[in-house]
Structure 1
């Protein structure tokens, strides 16, 4: 699949996820360098793939979900980037991120492989958003055509709110 990064075509490696598929388990790294299996995160999940939390568009996205997910007590919001865990921890502390779980895929690109979000030319994840039900079935999937565009916050939150 091709998407655009600042107007230029880039290619996503792997097979993209689709609605009604079950997401395969994957392992990412938390800000304390611990491995985390996605299957161990219970309930409904908003899953955000971003190029880097330390960029204006990603910063706004994670900060917005950090604020809005408080209204959805049964939903866990997860953000994954290729940023190093040290940088993610520093950024989260500076921004007061407490309601979004931030993970890194830098080590093995396991999430990138499972989700088809890896931008081959840049070594980054594309911007994509998923809502996953408590059985790990995908109920919403959106790979943004332009990586620097923002996700549809209201649409994602509405889907997550109505998912069990």
Structure 2
């Protein structure tokens, strides 16, 4: 399924591939790659609240800031919350980024192989094979409780709204 009119990249309209995910939906499973190339699925975080930060590329200033900020704020909110960042960056580039940026709490993952996450969550940008900037919160029962797809991919998500939502 393709959807238009949802996101732009530097003002240019983009096409999202996959179904729209809404609050109340059961989170679809996906398979992404860890920095070690090992497969990672939604089931690997069963019983935890999953905050999923989605970034086009960690080698850009907004994505860099997004992961650093959420690593600090969200990942330290408790043992029952896991902070994931998913991008199309190669696992090796993600590992280098996380080492340099001292990302020690968030788990940065790659969707480079099959775009499994991007398609499952409806945030794969067809024209660029990148992921649209978004944030999802999935509860302990794998129900989606928060969705923000940022309309302009070069802009940041609403951090204050997200943090307030997680705290309640």
Determine if the TM-score, normalized by the shorter chain, exceeds 0.5: yes
Match of 1:23 in 2: 27
- Secondary structure in 2 matching 1:22: coil
- CA distance 1:84–1:71, change in 2 (3 Å): closer
Give the alignment's TM-score, normalised by structure 1: 0.95
1:81 counterpart = 2:70: no
2:15 alignment partner in structure 1: 11
Q: Deviations over 1:37-96 (max 9, x none)?
A: 111113111111110111100000000011112441121110000000000000000000
Number of aligned residue pairs:
162
Structure 2: gaps spanning 5 or more residues: none
1:143-162 matched pairs, under 5 angstroms: 143-162=149-168
Shift of 1:33: 0.6
Q: Which aligned runs of 4 or more in structure 1 are off by greater than 4 angstroms?
A: none
- 1:112-148 CA-to-partner distances (Å, cap 9, x unmatched) read 1100110011110000111111001011111111001
Q: Unpaired runs of 5+ in structure 1? A: none
CA contact (8 A) 2:49 2:137 kept: yes
Cα RMSD, aligned residues only: 1.0
Matched, 1:127 2:107: no
Distance 2:54 2:157 in 1: 11
Conserved 8 A contact 1:131-1:159: no
The answer as to whether partners of 1:44 and 1:160 remain within 8 angstroms in 2 is no
Q: Given that residues 4 and 147 in structure 1 are in contact (C-alpha distance below 8 angstroms), is that contact kept between their aligned partners in structure 2?
A: yes
Q: TM-score, normalization: structure 2? A: 0.93
